[in-house]
Homo-oligomer: A and B are copies of this chain.
């Protein structure tokens, strides 16, 4: 594509570096910004620069935060005896949006992947073990819920963490895998369907 202006071309190149945005969409966005007041572009560029330079990560759970320790970790209304371990920050947002969980989180920042050269030391696993081991603070951790992806890497990471946590006598659980609610048996992949039969849940009243 030939651009009539180097300025447009540079902007389109930069915008199209974003994931899922091609040259055509980038051009559409650039021309949209040109039609708006200068203040629109100004506040867009300021907000992303500010976010990138000033963002902090919670020193306890490694979630994004505006403060040293995040709002979830400091909240008095959260159950501090449960930690849910997730791979990335969006996972925390997804679980929070369900309103079904009231414990704390721990963001690993990835999963163990020998192929990509990611070992346990690259992840926040030691930091998790320290949180569980630190009994003195009064907030004893009773349960660690592993909410990692159902992939080879995710399972490896879950296994590694489970073994590491063994000596602390803490309960380790994992989120349920199975047919999504509203999902059709017929269209579910065999692995999920097979596992949902093996890990069936008692239906009778306890």
A188 within 8 A of B: no
Q: Enumerate chain B residues within 8 angstroms of A71, measured Cβ to Cβ.
A: 4
A34 within 8 A of B: yes
Q: Enumerate chain B residues within 8 angstroms of A54, measured Cβ to Cβ.
A: 7
Chain A residues within 8 Å of chain B by Cβ, number: 58
User: How far, in whole Å, are A7 and B53 apart by their CA atoms in the complex?
Assistant: 10
- Select A53's contact among B4, B38, B48, beta carbons within 8 Å: B38
- Select A64's contact among B17, B28, B34, B46, beta carbons within 8 Å: B34
One of A87-95, A162-170, A195-203 at the interface: A87-95
**A interface, over-half SS:** helix
A-to-B contact residues, CB < 8 Å = 1-8, 10-11, 13-15, 17-20, 25, 27-34, 38, 40-56, 63-66, 70-72, 88-90, 92-93, 96-97
Most buried by B among A7, A25, A28, A64: A7
Q: Verify B66–A10 contact, CB threshold 8 A.
A: no
Q: Enumerate chain B residues within 8 angstroms of A90, measured Cβ to Cβ.
A: 27-28, 31
Q: Enumerate chain B residues within 8 angstroms of A28, measured Cβ to Cβ.
A: 19-20, 90
